[in-house]
Structure 1
Amino acid sequence: MKVILVVTLAAAGMAAPSGPPYGFSPAPSYRPAPSYASAPARYSFDYAVNDPPSGNDFGHQESRDGDHTQGSYYVQLPDGRLQQVTYTVSGDSGYLAEVTYQGEARYPTYQPAYRPAPTYTPLPVFRPTPVYG
């Protein structure tokens, strides 16, 4: 009888979960998020693309020091003009921009390069011969 009791207790001990339970945990542990000291933003960047075969010509440059940001960007417009935007942002003043254009707009006459032509040969039309009789 004692052997059965020992075997039963050993089996019950082996069947008990040994790790934390999945799902709800009755005693959740709370760890506050780490605090990071915030330093004023400071950066500067610029890039430019000029690809004559495709007509792409654009760029952007910007620099920021704390609450003051200044920069400009430009793009070649389809009408041939170059549009340039120069902007500043100081604190909560908002985005202040000055837009300028270089060149004169050109609107050439549209010349389609592709003219579709039929690539089929029409079948002959059947015309029955009248039968008199």
Structure 2
Amino acid sequence: MVAKIAFAVLALAAAVCAEPGAPLVVAPAYVKAVDYHARPHYSFNYGVNDPHTGDHKSQSETRDGDYVKGQYSLLEADGTTRTVDYTADPINGFNAHVTRSGHAVHAAPVKAYAYAAPAVVKTIAPIVHATPAVHAVPIAYKTASLAYAAPLAYRAPLAHHY
């Protein structure tokens, strides 16, 4: 794509700079040839060891053609390290061998306590009808040491008897 753009810019620049009646000459653009059928080959590895967050992991992988071989490991929440060795090829498919190392450490159980909700006392203020509009009437809720009011919205009655 870049080669096509460069070619178009060069052609435009040559056309602008050329004298009227002079032949148009453009230098050939460089085009990189890519072989899409080449045998794939790569190798990589990385690792993280962060004592602040407790993130410990690593991975490495190698590929040669259709054969892939790799390993990754990570620190589990229980303190063990899980290591996975894997291979993949067109004949055998994906195969993984998982191992764990280290001793699992579990947190001590938390003692459960019975919890009783505080008693709620409701006091309703008298409702005064005025006009058929929406009014706010406070309702007070009292708990052990807290008292707060919540508004109550209502409409006037639908029918009036005159």
TM-score by length of 1: 0.55
Distance of aligned partners of 1:37 and 1:51 in 2 relative to their CA distance in 1, 3 Å threshold: closer
Q: 2: CA distance between counterparts of 1:47 and 1:110?
A: 36
Match of 1:78 in 2: 77
Q: Report how far residue 109 of structure 1 moved.
A: 1.5
Match of 2:40 in 1: 41
Matching of residue 107 in structure 1 with residue 131 in structure 2: no
Instruction: State the identity %.
Output: 35
Q: Deviations over 1:21-80 (max 9, x none)?
A: xxxxxxxxxxxxxx9541111000000000012110001100000011100000100000
**1:64 corresponds to:** 63
Larger RCO (CA within 8 A; separation ≥ 6): 1
Q: Who is 1:31 aligned against?
A: none
1:78 partner amino acid: A
More strand by share: 2
Q: What's the offset of the Cα at 1:90?
A: 2.3
Structure 1 unaligned residues grouped into runs of 5+: 1-34, 112-120, 124-133
What is the aligned partner in structure 1 of residue 94 from structure 2? 95
Deviation per CA, 1:61-119: give whole Å up to 9, x if none: 000000111000001000000000001112232111110001111111257xxxxxxxx
Specify the SS of the correspondent of 2:69.
Answer: strand
SS of match in other structure, 1:38: coil
Aligned length in residues: 81
TM-score (norm 2): 0.45
